[in-house]
């Protein structure tokens, strides 16, 4: 056959493909006239192969290359072209191999018949090029046409590149020794017949599909001989039933090509005559064209040339040879070459991905696992990755058990999807709930069929945005895990992709049953815990319900946070409750009625934060608490325990410890032979401690000795930032090392003494960065003065001798921001303007050269001061109280002066003022200021509350104050009969609160108030009822405003 006829045949074949029924819209039909332009447009631009730059189209209208240099160059290009063609053959053979396995391709089904047509042409023209090269005659037209068709083949094969590459690499780079070891293992396990069966399956797949006509089988001496496969195929009843005539011919090495062809023709003719009585004198193509035939040709080596053997297309040819390296394309045009070592692919993929086969027990389980996968290559890779470097044979056996557990796996081909389901279930159940939701995001974040790749940075950012993970580092760990598991694959440097079959199974079998990451049942009044299956989540919030019983042993392998606070009816936790919570990091059992912790608490090896606040029935920590080696926060505030066990010292990662001790536990400790509630040297093992809070009953007489014993140990805690302690004796202040954020209560006091301080105010005080609370003091010791220098908040309660706050030293309160003075009945004034120091008073007539006092103070609260007369006495230095924002005066029966005009000038940051139950106050500003001319005072004041002031007649004695006032509240101020427009000049006033009786009795001076102003005031008035709780009404109005 010459070159022109080859070209005509290709044109005809390509044109005929237009009407082929398998040719859908997505597969463009090529004619030979359009091939070149299409390839240039779609392939050359993308650069199909590295060698492509070395093979250029050559024009010349079919001229022969004759000059020596041109001939050598052309010869090298032909060699490269042949190499490219053979690479295409290999890729095509692998594609057919993979398509014969039970798994879903990643690309649209390419036109395999068109591919076959191209390769038929390639086979013929390469033979022609070889012949021309032997004759030193090269036709450039033939070369260019072959190049074009090779590019078309590459284009179609590239569509399957993602699908093929992983398996192609496994086949190309497996060393021979690995093949031999793998096959030796297979042989020992009597798996030899499975390799043969796999090859037969592929041949049947190809014949039934009609995609190939000539199939070559190459054997391997160490694996399976090709003749063995062909013999098994020939004896297969299914195969014989498919063909009218089955012929088997052996071809020996003859002297010439014609001798080989004659030998084959004679052998075929003899068998045709014997089988169907055909005339032996007929040409071969005429003898076979009337029959559906299968021809087996067994060749001894590649020196045999059967290219001119004319075999019609109505039958199939199976060609075998003993040599693995034999080039079948030299013998005759072959559509498909089957290498027997390729059918070790399931085993090859498994060994390559699992990496560990360390014992004979695991070897045998591995073979059973491969068999259980029923040749599903993707399932094999996924399973191998799941067992990557696993040395525990029990997990291997568990995988085998789960793989065989499906009742639908009876057929190795029919139920392949179930294989994937079983393998993915094995993987899925071992992924955290967060990882599962990240997988869900990868499967669902595809808007169209083309958008199958994910940018890595965008993917992690989306996980964080959707609250699937918290930090970028966590996202990178999840991503690495998914790649290692082969659920995602890298595509280039910055993208990942999920295989379509994996995605399909996950979407249809697992994602619909995925539990939410957060189970939030807070405050629903539940009396029963959620069903056991609902506990398989990342976070559970059951706070503030009415639970009384918990599941016996919930399976929560990936639970990270569990909140069960304020379930007051929970009295007991089942012994095995924490048995299956290995990932739990946060546990909150606060405000429950539990009396003890179960032994399974020791299983919470990942626990980092344990909240056990306010459990009134809980009194003793078990020894198992020492097993919580990762615990960082342990909060037992308001849970009064008897003692800390020695095992607390094992919690070497503890950073925060808050503990409360029962005040009357001496008899318990004595009966249980507990020498100390805090064992000696306990804190030496807690070197990472940053926050320590110890709360005790002030009535506890043993505490002085205990705190004295362990204070030296606290000096070793170099990282301690916050320290909260009760120090009954003043002298302990000098013994202790101050933490940056200390919270000390100093002085003996009794718990049963009721404080007049509202609970909310005390809580606000305890929120401060650091504080000093001095209670029941009889004098002003230097230890307190020194502590004040570092204190941001000071609480002075029931001091029995101080006349004013200045006695503690104004210079010691420079950084003070928050101050409470409560029940100090000897105080006459808060600040004495005379400069007070350790040498005593130095009275000043003016504020010149005086330093400001309390220049950092922002909050000042005065409560129940029986003898307090004024806030400030004497001269006032500029800048004093300049940062004060909140001033509250409660229950001061002898207070008569609040603001002087000078003091008013300092309070330019005051935002809220409360005066309550001060019966001698008739005005907020003393009368001396009535003739003072000035601009508006208290420029930042927004809220004024005047409560129970029976003598109040004026708010500010007519001064213009509070230009930004928003709220005015009066209650039980019967003498306040007039409101002045200068005192209420704010245009931002939103509400006035008071009794309706008081509002109705107000006297409005016509010269001061216009009708419009009075109407506006009436519109913002809100009633306070005398027969209802004042605080509740103020809160309700505040919320509705």
Bridge-based pairing of strands 771-775 and 793-797 is: parallel
946 vs 28 pLDDT, higher one: 946
The model's pLDDT over 638-675, given as tens digits with 9 standing for 90+, comes to 999 988 999 999 999 999 999 999 867 676 666 766 67
Q: What is the C-alpha to C-alpha distance for residues 107 and 111, in angstroms, rounded to an integer?
A: 12
The tally of CA atoms less than 13 A away on the side-chain side of residue 374 is: 20
What value does the mean pLDDT take over residues 465-472? 89
pLDDT at 255 over 70: no
CA angle 537, 539, 543 (to 5 degrees): 125
Place of tokens 């029966």: 893
Q: What is the rounded distance in angstroms from the CA atom of residue 990 to the CA atom of residue 986?
A: 9
pLDDT given at position 117: 67
Burial of 180 (0-12, 13-18, 19+ CB in 10 A): middle
Give the distance from CA 118 to its chain's centroid. 49
* CA distance linking residue 412 with residue 393, whole number of Å: 25
Same fold, 435-514 and 519-618: no
SS3 of the chain: helix, strand, coil, percent, to 5: 40, 15, 45
Least confidently predicted of 31-35, 363-367, 663-667, 794-798? 31-35
673 or 575: which carries more pLDDT confidence? 575
The phi and psi torsions of 586 (rounded to 5 degrees) equal -130, 130
Is the pTM higher than 0.85? The answer reads: no
- Name the pLDDT band for 606 (thresholds 50, 70, 90): very high
Q: Could you tell me whether strands 1021-1023 and 138-139 are parallel, antiparallel, or unpaired per DSSP bridges?
A: unpaired
Contact (CB, 8 A) for 500 and 104: yes
Is-contact 587 543, C-beta < 8 A?
no
What is the structure's pLDDT at 925?
92
Task: In whole angstroms, give the CA distance from residue 267 to residue 981.
Answer: 127
CA distances from 149 to 2, 115, 930 (A): 17, 10, 107
- Higher pLDDT among residues 704 and 599, named by residue: 599
Strand partners, 832: 873
What is 149-168 written as a DSSP string? HHHHHHHHHHTTHHHHHHHH
What are the structure tokens assigned to 264, written together? Answer: 């084959």
Residues 827/868, Cβ–Cβ less than 8 Å: yes
Residue bearing the bigger pLDDT, 910 or 363: 910
Residue among 1013, 1015, 1034 at smallest CA distance from 1025:
1034
Report the percent of the chain where pLDDT is more than 90. Answer: 41
- Closest alpha carbon to 379 in 422, 342, 338: 422
Q: How far apart are CA 364 and CA 353, in angstroms?
A: 17
Among 25-34, 387-396, 867-876, 899-908, the range scoring the smallest mean pLDDT is 25-34
Per-residue pLDDT at 223:
62
What is the average per-residue pLDDT within 898-910?
A: 93
Query: Bridge partners of 610?
Result: 587, 634
418-425 mean pLDDT: 91
| Closest by Cα among 582, 595, 604 to 651 | 604
Chain centre distance of CA 34:
52
> Among candidates 647, 569, 643, 657, which has minimal Cα distance to 613?
657
* CA quadruple 413, 416, 419, 425: dihedral, nearest 10: -170
Residue 461 pLDDT more than 70? yes
**What confidence score (pLDDT) does residue 24 get?**
36
Whether 75 contacts 81, CB under 8 Å = no
Q: What is the pLDDT of residue 39?
A: 34
Residue 761 half-sphere exposure toward CB, CA atoms < 13 A:
21
pLDDT for 63 equals 52
Rounded to the nearest 10 degrees, how much is the dihedral formed by the CA atoms of 983, 882, 844, 924?
20
The pair of structure tokens assigned to 926 is: 């003393």
Confidence class of residue 409 from pLDDT cuts 50, 70 and 90?
Answer: very low
Q: Tokens in use for 366?
A: 């591995």
Concatenating the DSSP letter of every residue in 300-354 gives S-TT---TT----TTSEEEEEES-TT--GGGTS--SEEEEGGGGGHHHHHHHHHH
**Contact assessment for residue 1023 and residue 1038, using Cβ atoms and an 8 Å cutoff:** no
**Which of the following CATH numbers is that of domain 435-514: 1.10.8, 3.30.200, 3.30.1360, 1.10.10?**
1.10.10
CA distances from 541 to 469, 521, 526, 933 (A): 18, 6, 12, 62
Q: Which of 152-166, 498-512, 578-592 has the highest mean pLDDT?
A: 578-592
Q: Which residue do the tokens 């074009």 mark?
A: 148
What the block records as the tokens of 418 is 């179930």
- Gap between the Cα atoms of 100 and 163, Å rounded: 13
Report the C-alpha gap between 596 and 583 in whole angstroms.
22
Residue with tokens 């007369």: 869
Among 328-332, 757-761, 857-861, 888-892, where is mean pLDDT lowest?
328-332
What is d(CA 332, CA 318) in angstroms, rounded to the nearest whole number?
Answer: 11
Using a 10 angstrom Cβ sphere, with 0-12 exposed, 13-18 middle and 19 or more buried, the burial of residue 670 is exposed
Closest alpha carbon to 657 in 683, 628, 680: 683
Name the nearest CA neighbour of 352 among 168, 156, 537: 168
pLDDT of 549 > 60? The answer is: yes
What is d(CA 735, CA 716) in angstroms, rounded to the nearest whole number? 13
Q: Which residue has the higher pLDDT, 69 or 291?
A: 291
What's the rounded Cα separation, in Å, for the pair 497 and 518?
A: 28
Distance between CA atoms of residues 438 and 508, nearest Å = 16
Segment 862-866 shows an average pLDDT of 96
| 660 contacts: CB under 8 Å, gap ≥ 6 | 636, 637, 638, 639, 640, 641, 694, 695, 696
What is the pLDDT confidence band of residue 572, given thresholds at 50, 70 and 90? very high
- Report which of residues 848 and 406 the model is more confident about: 406
DSSP per residue over 214-263, as a string?
Answer: EEEEE--TTS--HHHHHHHHHT-HHHHHH-SEEEEEEE---SSHHHHHHH
Residue 164 has pLDDT above 90, yes or no: no
Mean pLDDT in residue range 317-330: 72
What is the per-residue DSSP string for 622-638?
Answer: -GGGGG-TT--EEEEEE
pLDDT for position 423: 94
pLDDT at 686: 93
Q: For residue range 726-759, what is the model confidence (pLDDT) as tens digits?
A: 999 998 888 887 778 899 999 987 755 566 788 8
What average pLDDT does the segment 699-715 reach? 86
Domains of the chain by residue range: 3-171, 224-334, 435-514, 519-618, 649-753, 896-1040
Q: Give residue 840's pLDDT band: very low, low, confident or very high (50, 70, 90).
A: very low
More confident call, 404 vs 64:
404
Mean pLDDT of the chain: 82
Lowest mean pLDDT of 371-375, 571-575, 778-782, 962-966, name the range: 371-375
Helix axes 32-39, 3-16, angle to 10 degrees: 90
If you average pLDDT over residues 765-792, what whole number do you get? 93
Residue that wins the pLDDT comparison between 154 and 931: 154
CATH number of the structural domain 519-618: 3.80.10.10
Q: How many residues in total does the chain contain?
A: 1041
Q: Output the six-digit token pair for 208.
A: 């039934």
Q: Which of 123-127, 221-225, 877-881, 899-903 has the lowest mean pLDDT?
A: 221-225
The yes-or-no verdict on residue 1036 having pLDDT over 70 is no
* CA 818 – CA 797 distance, rounded (Å): 14
CB contact at 8 A, 598 and 574: yes
Averaged pLDDT for residues 431-459: 79
Write out the H or E segment, with its range, that includes residue 293: strand 293-299
Nearest one of 629, 669, 622 to 646, comparing CA atoms: 622
Q: Can you state the angle between helices 456-465 and 472-484, rounded to 10 degrees?
A: 120
**Closest C-alpha among 550, 563, 683, 570 to residue 616:** 570
Q: Cite the beta strand spans of 803-953 per DSSP E.
A: 818-822, 829-832, 835-837, 840-842, 859-863, 870-873, 886-890, 912-916, 943-947
Do residues 462 and 442 make contact, with C-beta atoms less than 8 angstroms apart?
no
> Over 90: is that where the pLDDT of 580 sits?
yes
Give the integer Cα–Cα distance in Å for 709 and 705: 6
pLDDT band with cut points at 50, 70 and 90 for residue 513? confident
The residues near 702 (Cβ < 8 Å, ≥ 6 apart) are 666, 677
For the beta carbon of residue 76, count every other beta carbon within 10 angstroms.
12
């Amino acid at each position: 056959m010459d070159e022109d006829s080859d070209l005509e045949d290709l044109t005809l074949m390509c044109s005929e493909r237009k009407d082929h029924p398998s040719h859908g819209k997505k597969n463009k039909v090529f004619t030979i006239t359009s091939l070149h332009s299409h390839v240039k447009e779609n392939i050359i631009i993308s650069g199909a192969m590295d060698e492509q730059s070395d093979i250029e189209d050559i024009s010349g209208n079919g001229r022969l290359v004759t000059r020596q240099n041109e001939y050598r160059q052309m010869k090298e290009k032909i060699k490269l072209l042949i190499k490219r063609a053979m690479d295409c053959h290999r890729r095509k053979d692998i594609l057919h191999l993979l398509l014969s396995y039970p798994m879903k391709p990643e690309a649209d089904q390419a036109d395999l018949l068109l591919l076959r047509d191209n390769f038929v042409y390639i086979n013929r023209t390469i033979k022609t090029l070889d012949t021309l090269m032997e004759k030193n005659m090269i036709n450039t037209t033939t070369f260019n046409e072959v190049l074009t068709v090779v590019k078309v083949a590459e284009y179609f094969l590239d569509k399957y590149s993602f699908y093929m590459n992983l398996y192609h690499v496994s086949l190309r780079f497996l060393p021979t020794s690995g093949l031999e070891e793998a096959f030796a293992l297979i042989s020992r396990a009597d798996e030899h017949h499975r390799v043969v069966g796999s090859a037969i399956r592929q041949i049947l797949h190809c014949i039934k599909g009609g995609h190939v006509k000539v199939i070559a089988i190459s054997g391997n001496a160490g694996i399976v001989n090709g003749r063995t496969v062909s013999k098994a195929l020939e004896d297969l009843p299914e195969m014989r039933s498919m063909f009218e005539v089955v012929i088997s011919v052996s071809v020996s090495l003859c002297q010439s090509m014609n001798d080989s062809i004659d030998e084959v023709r004679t052998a075929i003719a003899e068998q045709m005559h014997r089988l169907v009585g055909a005339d032996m004198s007929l040409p071969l193509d005429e003898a076979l064209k009337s029959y559906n035939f299968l021809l087996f040709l067994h060749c001894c080596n590649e020196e045999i040339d059967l290219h001119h053997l004319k075999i019609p297309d109505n039958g199939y040819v199976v060609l075998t040879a003993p040599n693995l390296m034999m080039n079948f394309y030299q013998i005759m045009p072959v559509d498909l070459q089957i290498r027997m070592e390729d059918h070790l692919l399931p085993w090859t993929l498994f060994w390559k991905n699992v990496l560990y086969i360390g014992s004979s027990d695991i070897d045998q389980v591995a073979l059973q696992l491969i068999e259980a996968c029923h040749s599903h290559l993707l399932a094999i890779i996924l399973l191998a990755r799941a067992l990557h470097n696993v040395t525990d044979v029990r997990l291997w056996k568990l995988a085998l058990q789960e793989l065989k557990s499906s009742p639908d796996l009876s057929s190795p081909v029919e139920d392949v999807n179930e294989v994937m389901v079983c393998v993915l279930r094995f993987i899925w159940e071992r992924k955290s709930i967060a990882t599962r939701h990240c997988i869900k995001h990868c499967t669902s974040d595809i808007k169209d069929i083309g958008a199958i790749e994910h940018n890595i940075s965008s993917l992690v950012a989306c996980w964080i945005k959707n609250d699937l993970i918290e930090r970028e580092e966590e996202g990178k760990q999840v991503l690495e895990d998914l790649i290692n598991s082969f659920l995602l694959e890298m595509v280039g440097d910055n993208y990942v992709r999920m295989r379509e079959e994996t995605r399909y199974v996950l979407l249809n079998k697992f994602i619909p049953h995925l539990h939410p990451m957060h189970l939030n049942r807070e405050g629903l009044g539940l009396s029963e815990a959620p069903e056991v299956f609902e506990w398989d989540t990342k976070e559970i919030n059951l706070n503030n319900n009415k639970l009384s019983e918990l599941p016996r042993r919930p399976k929560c392998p990936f639970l990270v946070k569990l909140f069960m606070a304020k379930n007051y009816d929970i009295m007991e936790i089942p012994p095995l409750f924490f048995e299956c919570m290995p990932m739990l990091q946060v546990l909150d059992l606060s405000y429950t009625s539990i009396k003890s912790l179960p032994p399974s608490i020791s299983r919470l090896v990942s626990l980092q934060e344990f909240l056990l606040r306010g459990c009134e029935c809980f009194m003793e920590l078990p020894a198992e608490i020492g097993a919580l080696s990762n615990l960082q926060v342990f909060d037992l505030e308001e849970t009064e325990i008897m003692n800390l066990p020695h095992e607390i010292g094992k919690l070497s990662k503890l950073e925060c410890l808050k503990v409360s001790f029962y005040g009357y536990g001496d008899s318990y400790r004595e009966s249980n032979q507990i020498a100390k509630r805090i064992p000696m040297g306990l804190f030496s093992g807690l070197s990472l401690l940053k926050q320590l809070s110890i709360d005790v009953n002030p009535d506890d007489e043993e505490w002085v000795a205990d705190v004295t014993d362990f204070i030296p140990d606290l000096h070793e805690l170099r990282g301690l930032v916050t320290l909260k302690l009760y120090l009954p004796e003043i002298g302990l202040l000098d013994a202790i090392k101050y933490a940056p954020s200390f919270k000390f209560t100093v002085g003996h006091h009794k718990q049963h003494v009721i404080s007049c301080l509202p609970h909310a105010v005390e809580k606000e005080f305890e929120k401060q960065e650091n504080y000093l609370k001095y209670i029941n003091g009889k004098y002003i010791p230097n230890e307190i003065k020194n502590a004040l220098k570092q204190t941001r908040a000071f609480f002075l309660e029931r001091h029995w001798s101080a006349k004013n706050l200045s006695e503690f030293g104004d210079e010691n309160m420079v950084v003070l921001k928050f101050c409470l003075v409560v029940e100090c009945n000897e105080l006459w004034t808060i600040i004495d303007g005379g400069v007070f120091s350790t040498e005593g008073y130095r009275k000043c007539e003016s504020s010149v050269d005086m330093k400001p006092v309390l220049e950092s103070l922002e909050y000042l609260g005065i409560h129940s001061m029986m003898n307090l007369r004024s806030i400030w006495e004497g001269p006032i230095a500029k800048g004093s109280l300049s940062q004060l924002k909140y001033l509250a005066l409660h229950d001061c029966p002898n207070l008569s002066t609040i603001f002087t005009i000078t003091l008013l000038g300092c309070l330019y940051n005051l935002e809220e003022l409360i005066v309550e139950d001060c019966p001698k106050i008739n005005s907020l500003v003393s009368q001396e200021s009535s003739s003072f001319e000035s601009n508006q005072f208290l420029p930042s004041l927004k809220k004024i509350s005047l409560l129970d002031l029976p003598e109040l007649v004026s708010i500010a004695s007519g001064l213009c104050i509070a230009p930004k006032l928003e709220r005015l509240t009066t209650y039980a101020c019967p003498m306040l009969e007039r409101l002045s427009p200068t005192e209420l000049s704010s245009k931002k006033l939103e509400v006035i609160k008071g009794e309706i009786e008081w509002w109705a009795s107000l006297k409005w001076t016509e010269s001061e108030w216009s009708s419009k102003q009075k109407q506006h005031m009436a519109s913002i008035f809100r009633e306070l009822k005398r027969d209802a709780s004042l605080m509740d009404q103020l809160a309700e109005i505040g919320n509705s405003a």
